[in-house]
Amino acid sequence: MITPPAGFRALPLSITQLSLAAVLQCGQSFRWNIFPLLSLASGTSGADNLHPTHEYRLCLRDRVVCLRQSLDTLFYRSVLPGPPLSRTLQDEREAETLAWLRDYFQLDVDLEALYEQWGKRDSVFMNRQQRFSGIRVLRQDPFENLISFICSSNNNIARITKMVKALCRQYSPALIALPSPALTDDDSNDPSTQELTEAYHPFPPPSALAAPEVASTLRGLGFGYRAEFIQRTAQMLVEAHGVAASESGVEPAEKWLHSLRKMSTSDAREELLKFVGVGRKVADCVLLMSLDKREVIPVDTHVHQIAMKHYGVSGSSKAKSNMTPKLYDEVSSKLAAVWGDYAGWAHLVLFTSDLKSFSSYGLSTTAAFPKAQPDVKITSRQRKSVLATPSATPSPAGKRKRKQVQEATVAIIANEKVESSSTQHSDVELPALDDSSMADRVKRRRRVKVTIAAVALK
C-alpha cells in the first residue's frame, strides 16, 4: 500500500468491492464533486496504477467528505467548519466519517460474492462482470434521493446533476468553502498553482423547499415542470410531519422517510407513490437506493431495452412503446427471477455497463480503476505555460471544445482513449463548467486542467 496523501486516512478495500469512478457517476447520486488529479510530479512516472487519479467530495450536514482510491485502498478525510481540531477530536471526527462510509457504501455487503452468484445464474451477467467490477448500490439519504429522482424524469445525468447542485446552492447555506485539491503534490507548496476555493452546500431539508414560491424559483433555475413536483412534495412532507426543531437538526419528515426502511417493500412503495412527480419508476429508485429494498428493479426505457435484447421480454427493440404498468411488471419480475434477492444491485451493474458514458469503460483489464494514467512527461515550466495561456473559448467554437474536454474527462474516468472524432455523447458533466456562480477564472482553470489530460491522452 502506498502512503496516504497528506491528511488522508487509509481503509484497506479492494477496488473490486467498490469502484468510486463507476459508483459515483452512474446516476445514483448527483451531488459528488469530482476532481482529476494529474500525476505530473516531475521525475517520476505518473502511470503506476497505484496512485489515485481523482478526488471525490460530498458535502454532508456537518462536514465535507473527501475520498481518493487506489487498487487496494480507500483514502478518506473530512473537513469541518470552524477552527482546527485537537488531535483527539480530529480522530473522533474521522471515526465518525469512517462509520458513515461503511454505511453509505454498504461495505458489509460482499460484492465479489454477489458477482459470483449472479454470474452463475446468468450468462449475460457473466459476460460483463469482469469488465464492470466494483459497482454497488449506495445507501443514500431518503429525502435527497426522493427529490433527486423527481428531477430524473425525461432527463439525463448531466442535467440532473446540474439541477441538484443548483437546488443546494439556492436553498441551503454554504457549510464551508474549500480549495480544490492541488493538481499534484508538488503544487501544494507553489502559490502560482494554488487552486481556487468553492463553497460546499449540504442538501436542503424539506422545510426549505416547501414554500409556494419555491416552485417559481426552481422554474427560473431550469427545472421545468419538475419545479412544482418538488415544491408540492416538500410541502406534503412538511404538512404531514411538521418542522419541529430537534437536537440533531433532522426534521420529522426526514425521520419519517427513514422509517420507511422498516416497512415492507409494497407498503413503502405505496407511501412514496402518494407524492407528486413520483411514479413507479422513481418510487422504485428510492426504494432501492435509500430504503434498503435490494430486490427492487427500477424499470426505465433503458432497462426495458436490456430486457428485450437479452432476457426475452416482449416488444421489438425499436418500438418506443409507452411503459405500461403491465409491461413494467413483466420486465421487473423477469429480471428479479434471474438475479434473486439482490436483483436491484445486479440491475445497477447491467444498467451502468450500458450507459453511453461508460461504453468504453470495460475494455481494460481492470476496469474498476482507470488503468494507465497518462504517462505525462510535462515539466513544471511547461505546465505553467499551459496554465498561463487559457484558450479564451468563444461560444461557437467553445461549445465543441467543451464537448471534447468532456469526452476526455470521461475517457480518463473510463480508462480508455477516445478518438477526437468520437460521436459518443457524454452523460457525465464536467464539474462546475456551467456553474454560473463560479468566477471565470475557476472555469478557465478547470478547462485547462482537463485540456492537459486531453493532450496527455493523445
Partner DNA sequence: ATCGGACCCCCG
Partner DNA sequence: GGGGGTCCGA
Catalytic site positions: 281
Between residues 44 and 437, which has the closer beta carbon with respect to DNA?
A: 437
Between residues 160 and 452, which has the closer beta carbon with respect to DNA?
A: 160
3-state SS, 257-287, equals HHHHHHCCHHHHHHHHCCCCCCCHHHHHHHH
Between residues 27 and 134, which has the closer beta carbon with respect to DNA?
A: 27
- List CB contacts of 187: < 8 A, sequence separation 6 or more: 193, 194
- List CB contacts of 192: < 8 A, sequence separation 6 or more: 384
Between residues 150 and 338, which has the closer beta carbon with respect to DNA?
A: 150
Coil, helix or strand at residue 392: coil
Q: In angstroms, rounded to a whole number, what is the distance separating the alpha carbons of residues 70 and 396?
A: 39
Between residues 168 and 230, which has the closer beta carbon with respect to DNA?
A: 230
Between residues 62 and 354, which has the closer beta carbon with respect to DNA?
A: 354
Which residue is it, cell 502511470? 47
Q: In angstroms, rounded to a whole number, what is the distance separating the alpha carbons of residues 293 and 283?
A: 11
**Nearest distance from residue 288's CB to DNA, in Å?**
8
H helices of 151-259, in order, are 157-171, 206-209, 213-220, 226-241, 252-259
Q: Classify each residue of 354-378 as buried b or exposed e, where b means 16 or more C-beta atoms within 10 Å of its C-beta.
A: bbebbebbbebebbbbbeebbebeb
Q: Which residues pair with 79 in a beta bridge?
A: 64
**Nearest distance from residue 85's CB to DNA, in Å?**
36
Cβ–Cβ under 8 Å, residues 340 and 113: no
**Nearest distance from residue 270's CB to DNA, in Å?**
13
Residue 143: all three cell numbers together: 429525502
Residue 1: all three cell numbers together: 500500500
Binding site for DNA (CB under 7 A): 26-28, 152-159, 219, 222-226, 229, 275-283, 285, 298, 300-302, 320, 322-326, 351, 399, 403, 423, 425, 434
Cβ–Cβ under 8 Å, residues 142 and 286: yes
